[in-house]
Structure 1
Amino acid sequence: MKTRTIGIVLVVAALLASCKQDRLPNGFPDKDEFAEILSEVHLTEAIINQMRIKNRGIDSTANNYYHHVLAKFNLTQEKFDTIVNWYLAHPEIYQDVYDESIAMLSEKQAEWQREVKGIEDEMERKRKEKEARNVWKDKKNYFISLKDTFDRRIPFELNVDTIEAESYRVSAFYQFLKGSRVEKPTLEVMAFYEDSTLDTLTYKLHNTHISTKAELMIGLNKDLKILRIEGYLVKHDTMEEIRARIKDIEFVFQPKVDSLEMDSVNFESFNTELPKIE
């Protein structure tokens, strides 16, 4: 009988010691809250990894994002590491927390992917609308050299008398290659209005080996309708030697009543897809 009593006492003592040992330290999040923290951190790390793949110079922004997530739960990096180490020292508790965090992360990933899908659909819709407003129907890319027999200034003429537009935006990327001797290349656009007046706009091109975007807005400050647009993609002294690339030429009109706001929102930086959870 005495032996049995001693055995019961030892078992109870062991259980009490175990409960005391596994009790969360003061100030530590409970299992449910820590599972939420882990799911947020894992999600953030996945996003940061994708950001780094797309842009190697993003580390500073990514780290700020990571610390913002910890601050959301009133945690510093040091305190978070301490909590993780404690849970890792108690694997049975940690396993429950980890399983719960994975379930939460799956839900967050599904929600994120729905958001990404919605943004991608919106981007595609806007891209198609923008393409429909692009009145440039010639080649979108040119390579110019002295061997070319066509007018190396790349003249153009667009009849836009049937279009009800508030303004037009012409843009292209220019790159002047080795051997080019052009001193003052310009993009020149002339707008002919319904009252027979004329506007001439020029953009001084950057004479550089680096591909650089040039852009001009036409018709912004006039209520008159534009009937015709003429100009030169690269106006220069034709006696000069020129070697250049012109890429991604666009001539987009802005409707008078336009709720698209195509250029007011930048979706390109928001194009992250999370990896699958294993």
Structure 2
Amino acid sequence: MKSKITALLILLLSACNTTVSPSFSKEKISKEKMVEVLIDIHLAEASFNVIDRNKKAADSTILNEYSSIFKKHSVIPEDFFSTYNYYLANPALLDSAYGELVSRITTLQSQALKSPELKVLSDTSVYKDSLRNQMLRKFKSQKKVL
């Protein structure tokens, strides 16, 4: 799923003129807001990579998710893509923005792991039981074939 979304994003960006046009000559969205939007986009894409979904539903849902992210941050999609193209044309800015993005996502992850709501499964008996059941199902299916 992630590769499909990445391919879609690359396709959208490659459809744009490779030279920096006047509309891409400056940022239309501040770096801070751009990082916020990118964080939400990456988190949305990560959630879709974890959950198995059928392709049509996933494509439609992720596009709806992008729309709600843009609305949440009061960002016009054209301004987002224009600013993203500007960042692509200026690798130092892109590097800086993604450096901040990685730092903030790491902080969010650290906070989430410390959260009392997130209980890490320490009892491996459930895991062992699921492996045992998985092996039994496989054995039974092979037995039917014989």
Relative to the length of structure 1, the TM-score reads: 0.29
Structure 2 match to 1:72 = 72
SS at match of 1:118: coil
Structure 2 residue 105 is matched with structure 1 residue 102: no
Residues 211-230 of structure 1: per-residue CA shift (max 9 Å, x gap): xxxxxxxxxxxxxxxxxxxx
Residues 219-248 of structure 1: per-residue CA shift (max 9 Å, x gap): xxxxxxxxxxxxxxxxxxxxxxxxxxxxxx
Q: Distance in 1 between matches of 2:54 and 2:112?
A: 23
Unaligned runs of 5+ in 1: 1-22, 122-278
Letter in 2 for 1:41: I
**TM-fit CA distance, 1:90:** 0.9
- The 5-angstrom pairing of residues 137-216 of structure 1 reads none
Checking the alignment, whether the CA contact within 8 Å between 1:38 and 1:101 is kept in structure 2 is yes
Instruction: Identify the match of residue 54 of structure 2 among 28, 53, 56.
Output: 56
Q: Distance in 2 between matches of 1:41 and 1:113?
A: 21
Structure whose residues are more often helix by fraction: 2
Whose Rg is larger?
1
Which structure ranks higher in relative contact order (CA pairs < 8 Å, sequence separation ≥ 6)? 2
Checking the alignment, whether the CA contact within 8 Å between 2:26 and 2:83 is kept in structure 1 is no
Structure 2 match to 1:86 = 86
Structure 1 match to 2:3 = none
Q: Distance in 2 between matches of 1:41 and 1:76?
A: 14
Letter in 1 for 2:54: R
**TM-fit CA distance, 1:100:** 0.6
Letter in 2 for 1:104: R
Structure 2 match to 1:38 = 38
Residues 26-76 of structure 1: per-residue CA shift (max 9 Å, x gap): xx222222222222221121112223xx23264133332232112111224
Runs of 4+ in structure 1 deviating by more than 6 angstroms, as ranges, are none
**TM-fit CA distance, 1:113:** 4.8
Checking the alignment, whether the CA contact within 8 Å between 2:34 and 2:80 is kept in structure 1 is no
Question: Given the superposition, is the C-alpha separation of residues 102 and 89 from structure 1 closer, same or farther in structure 2, using an over 3 Å criterion?
Answer: same
Q: Distance in 1 between matches of 2:29 and 2:96?
A: 14
Q: Distance in 2 between matches of 1:50 and 1:103?
A: 22
Structure whose residues are more often strand by fraction: 1
Give the total of aligned pairs. 95
Q: Distance in 1 between matches of 2:33 and 2:81?
A: 15
Structural RMSD (CA) = 2.9
Letter in 2 for 1:61: T
Q: Distance in 1 between matches of 2:109 and 2:67?
A: 20
Q: Distance in 2 between matches of 1:48 and 1:69?
A: 15
